[in-house]
Amino acid sequence: MSILGTRVVRTEDPLFLTRGATYTDDLVDDRLTGALHATFIRSQVAHGRVLSVDASAAREAPGVVAVYTAEDCPDLAPLPAGLPMVPPAMQRPWLATDKVRFVGDIVAVVLTEDRYQGEDAAELVSVDIDPLPTVVSTADAAKDEVLLFEEAGTNVAAVFGGPPPEDFFSGCEVVVRQAVKNQRVAPVPLETRAAAAAWGEDGRVTIWCTNQGAQQAKGEIAGWLGLDPALVHLVTPDVGGGFGAKIGADPEYAFVAWLAQRVGRPVRWTENRSENLLGMLHGRGQDQLVTIGGRRDGTVEAYAIHVDQEAGAYPRVGVILPTLTMLMAAATYAFPKVHASARVLVNNATSIGAYRGAGRPEATAAVERAVDMFAAEIGMDPAEVRRKNLVPPFHEPHTTPSGATYDSGEYVVALEKALEAAGYQELRAEQARRREAGEVKQLGIGLSTYVEITGADTGLGAAESAELEVHPDGTATVLTGTSPHGQGHATAWAMLASDQLGIPVEKITVLHGDTDRIPRGGGTMGSRSLQQGGAAVHQAATELIELARQRAAEQLEADPSDLEVDLTAAGLSVRGTPGSGITFAQLAEKEPLVVQTRFEAAAPTFPFGAHVAVVEVDTESGKAELQRLVAVDDAGIIVNPLLAEGQRHGGFAQGVAQALLEEVLYDADGNPQTSTLADYPFVSPTELPSFELVDMATPTPINPLGAKGIGEAGTIGSTPAVHNAVIDAVAHLGVRHIDMPTTPMKVWRAIQQAQQEGTN
Partner 1 sequence: MKVTLTVNGQQRSDEVEPRLLLAHYLRDTCGLKATNIGCDTTSCGACTVVVDGLTVKSCTVLAAQADGSQVTTLEGLAGPDGELHPMQKAFREEHGLQCGFCTPGMVMAAIGVVADNPDPSDREVREGLEGNLCRCTGYHNIVRAVQSAAKAGPAAGQVPQSQEVAR
Would you say the C-alpha torsion 79, 83, 87, 88 has a positive or negative sign? positive
Residues 104-163 that bind partner 1 (CB under 8 A): 116
Residues 714-743 that bind partner 1 (CB under 8 A): 714
> Is the omega angle on the peptide bond into residue 741 within 30 degrees of 0, that is, cis?
yes
Least distance to partner 1, CB of residue 188, Å: 6
Question: Which CB sits closer to partner 1, 6 or 756?
Answer: 6
Q: Which one of residues 140, 220, 238, 469 is an interface residue with partner 1 (CB under 8 A)? A: 238
Please report whether residue 627 would count as binding partner 1 according to CB under 8 A: no
DSSP states along 598-656: EE--SS-B--EEEEEEEEEEETTT--EEEEEEEEEEE-BS-S-HHHHHHHHHHHHHHHH
Cα–Cα dist 331/415, whole Å? 14
CB 184 within 8 A of CB 284: yes
Cα–Cα dist 241/236, whole Å? 13
Q: Could you give the angle at the alpha carbon of 330 between the alpha carbons of 328 and 335, nearest 5°? A: 175
User: What letter would DSSP give residue 10?
Assistant: P
Least distance to partner 1, CB of residue 439, Å: 22
Please report whether residue 748 would count as binding partner 1 according to CB under 8 A: no
Please report whether residue 663 would count as binding partner 1 according to CB under 8 A: no
Please report whether residue 26 would count as binding partner 1 according to CB under 8 A: yes
Least distance to partner 1, CB of residue 248, Å: 18
Instruction: Count residues binding partner 1 (CB under 8 A).
Output: 54
Q: Which one of residues 17, 51, 159, 460 is an interface residue with partner 1 (CB under 8 A)? A: 17
DSSP states along 537-601: HHHHHHHHHHHHHHHHHHHHT--GGGEEEETTTTEEEETT-TTSSEEHHHHHHHS-EEEEEEE--
CB 364 within 8 A of CB 717: yes
CB 330 within 8 A of CB 340: no
Q: Which stretch binds partner 1 (CB under 8 A): 341-349, 562-570, 644-652, 739-747?
A: 644-652
Q: Which one of residues 653, 659, 721, 726 is an interface residue with partner 1 (CB under 8 A)? A: 653
Q: Which one of residues 191, 499, 663, 739 is an interface residue with partner 1 (CB under 8 A)? A: 191
Question: Which CB sits closer to partner 1, 113 or 381?
Answer: 113
Q: In what order do the strands lie in the sheet with 99-100?
A: 99-100, 48-54, 126-131
Residue window 37-76: x/- pattern of binding to partner 1, with contact defined by CB under 8 A: ----------------------------------------
Q: Which one of residues 688, 696, 697, 754 is an interface residue with partner 1 (CB under 8 A)? A: 688
Q: Which stretch binds partner 1 (CB under 8 A): 228-236, 458-466, 541-549, 670-678?
A: 670-678
Q: Which stretch binds partner 1 (CB under 8 A): 89-97, 389-397, 582-590, 687-695?
A: 687-695
Q: Could you tell me which of 582, 252, 602 has the C-alpha nearest to residue 455?
A: 602
Q: Could you tell me which of 343, 19, 324 has the C-alpha nearest to residue 156?
A: 343
Q: Which stretch binds partner 1 (CB under 8 A): 573-581, 584-592, 671-679, 729-737?
A: 671-679
Q: Which segments within 173-259 are labelled E, that is strand? A: 174-185, 194-199, 205-209, 232-235
Which residues in 519-545 are b (16+ Cβ under 10 Å) and which e? eebbbbbbbbbbbbbbbbbbbbbeebb
Please report whether residue 685 would count as binding partner 1 according to CB under 8 A: yes
Q: Which one of residues 561, 690, 759, 760 is an interface residue with partner 1 (CB under 8 A)? A: 690
Residues 269-288 that bind partner 1 (CB under 8 A): 272-274
Please report whether residue 3 would count as binding partner 1 according to CB under 8 A: no
- Residues near 384 by beta carbon (within 8 Å), at least 6 away in sequence: 298, 375
Cα–Cα dist 195/184, whole Å? 26
Q: In what order do the strands lie in the sheet with 563-566?
A: 563-566, 571-574, 582-583
Please report whether residue 21 would count as binding partner 1 according to CB under 8 A: yes
Q: Which stretch binds partner 1 (CB under 8 A): 17-25, 52-60, 63-71, 311-319?
A: 17-25
Q: Which one of residues 206, 216, 341, 487 is an interface residue with partner 1 (CB under 8 A)? A: 487
Least distance to partner 1, CB of residue 316, Å: 21
Please report whether residue 684 would count as binding partner 1 according to CB under 8 A: yes
Question: Which CB sits closer to partner 1, 315 or 672?
Answer: 672
**Residues contributing to the site for partner 1 (CB under 8 A):** 9-10, 12-14, 16-23, 26, 28, 116, 188-192, 238-241, 243, 272-274, 485-488, 642-643, 645-646, 649-654, 676-678, 682, 684-686, 688, 690-691, 714
